[in-house]
Structure 1
């Protein structure tokens, strides 16, 4: 059955129908039937006409003229927002000085799924006809060579687990037979957002009241006989093209399960509190008590963290100063995370990293990955076996 065409009405049709309706003693429904008009449409036209007769007003419904003005302003605002968002992405290109049309076209091509071509051309000062003409041209030999070189660079960078800068990448390229200088490699790496800057720049942590250091109650006693008896926690950093991301985890020592985690672009005490709250939201401390162990980081010494632990009846334990072995389980987890997942991936945004890491922890590490310390079971399976045995022994 052919689809019925949607009816449209001119301004004069609407005005005439409204006038007939207002002058008639008939109901709107009857007038609509008589004029073969949609009843709801006619009701809307009549309502708008009455608003228009009242003139502009600061309160109440908008007149037709005001509605048209609002549409225009919204359209302009939408275009301005898109221009602003596009400028953020193209800012590096614009800061290079004189804009080369070919570079502008490359940016437009890369972002055409996110922004209208018309707006991008206007923002970068190039014509749409020029862009479409550029699309039909064959890539230059230099462009083809750069494409091949870029692919090789990405492969080398990935193989190095993101640790090679342009000097080492250049050496590896030359070993593979490429004739290339380091400046060109550095330029292509920068264009693709590849950086071997593995050490995060120093970020000042907001100072806040801190509590006294806790004793090292755990004392490297990593073998625990029941879940939720000892939790260990630590913070690490993850590189993304959009900046450093910080991850805090809480790990149950019995099963090695990550029972709580949080990620943010800062490493303030809130990061630890969020990870702790996630753990407490899904776990119940053992009847024998719960020990929470960490290093002596400012976040863990924060009064708010200690108050939260005290309120939950959790005993606080801290590693000796500068001794990473006192928190070896958390350190080992971060090493596994980075070796098996982070170093195999280039995260363009922090949101992308958050989703990917959360999936790796929640689905793979906790639920699937076999852990040598717990008899090559996954943490979830190990806990399931514990509670099955506990239930069986209580029923006996």
Structure 2
């Protein structure tokens, strides 16, 4: 048995019992990580977004540290959504592709993209239509219904027109070849607001990649993540809450890791212009 002075023993014991500075900070960071993950992140943020949100709030921490502590906490972001079934029935009459896979815009209400995705509920299939502004990736309009008729897409378009206020000239509306978007009623409504129609190629999801990405995000962060959907009203209420969070709180990498609404407000402040109603 090795002998040591009592002072040496108790000094070692004190170091053993007293938590290190790293351990103390880790415990504090775990609470902050949990707060972000459960609060602003709605339990769908992965390590990258939790790390980004913490740094936005002024907490300087390495991404690898967030990854490590999230593993220790046993939490993770929402997993990728399943591939959706086809919701597009191709129309025969369609305009050309004005975007040609350039999914950027230099100001709000210059380029919108639209698409439809599906939700499986206990009462049958439910469908969600979105209209998204390419400038900030904000959701301008949406609608949920238990059918794939033209009214579904039209209602989402009407919400976008209402929420964005006066559209002005120069808007391009891009969609896939679905009959909901190529029908006469939809085309007439776009003509009324002075929007140019743009339609992607047949069966090519890359021609509407941003809208497809939004559908995937919606499925990952809400539909597949929560599950257990009962009916169209159940999905409608949850979608309304998710869209409000997405536009106003959810940090978006395309916007420089700030929410879409904040991104648009920054744009208008820099130019001394007022954002349109919505």
TM-score by length of 2: 0.65
Q: Does the alignment pair 1:275 with 2:156?
A: yes
Q: 1:351 aligns with which of 233, 238, 242?
A: 233
How many angstroms does 1:354 deviate by? Answer: 1.1
Cα separation, 2, equivalents of 1:388 and 1:229 = 18
Contact kept in structure 2, 1:232 and 1:330, CA below 8 Å: yes
Equivalent position of 2:187 in the other structure = 306
- Please, which of 292, 295, 320 is the counterpart of residue 201 of structure 2? 320
* Cross-structure match for 1:336: 217
Choose from 99, 105, 130 the match for 1:224: 105
Is 1:259 equivalent to 2:140 in the alignment?
Answer: yes
1:360 correspondence with 2:253: no
Classify the secondary structure of the residue corresponding to 1:352: helix
Q: Alpha-carbon deviations, 1:179-234, whole Å to 9, x = none?
A: xxxxxxxxxxxxxxxxxxx876x9998x9xx7831100011111211000000000
- For residue 119 of structure 2, what is the aligned residue in structure 1? 238
* In 2: Cα distance, 1:321 partner to 1:264 partner: 25
Q: State the Cα RMSD in Å.
A: 2.7
SS in 1 for 2:198: strand
Relative to structure 1, the CA distance from residue 281 to residue 160 in structure 2 (aligned partners, 3 Å threshold; closer, same or farther) is: closer
Is 1:375 matched up with 2:256? yes
Q: Structure 1 residue 241: deviation in Å? A: 1.2
Gaps of 5+ in 1: 1-158, 164-197
Q: Structure 1 residues 204, 231: CA separation in 2 closer, same or farther (over 3 Å shift)? A: closer
Identify the structure with the greater helix proportion.
1
User: Equivalent residue of 2:243, what SS?
Assistant: helix
- Partners in 2 of 1:294 and 1:238 — Cα distance? 20
Q: Residue in 2 aligned with 1:42?
A: none
- Residues 1:217 and 1:369: Cα distance change in structure 2 (over 3 Å): same
Q: Is the 8 A contact 1:227 1:286 kept in 2?
A: no
Partners of 1:203 and 1:234 lie apart in 2 by: 9
The number of equivalent residue pairs is 196
SS at match of 2:161: helix
TM-fit CA distance, 1:337: 1.0
Q: 1:272 to 1:162 in 2, by over 3 A?
A: closer
CA–CA distance in structure 1, aligned partners of residues 240 and 118 of structure 2: 14
Secondary structure in structure 2 of the residue aligned to 1:245: strand
State the TM-score, normalized to the length of structure 1: 0.46
Q: Is the 8 A contact 1:229 1:285 kept in 2?
A: no
Distance in 2 (alpha carbons) for counterparts of 1:305 and 1:272: 8
Q: How does 1:383-394 map to 2 (within 5 A)?
A: 383-391=264-272
Q: SS at 1:293's partner residue?
A: strand
Query: Between Structure 1 and Structure 2, whose CA radius of gyration is higher?
Result: 1
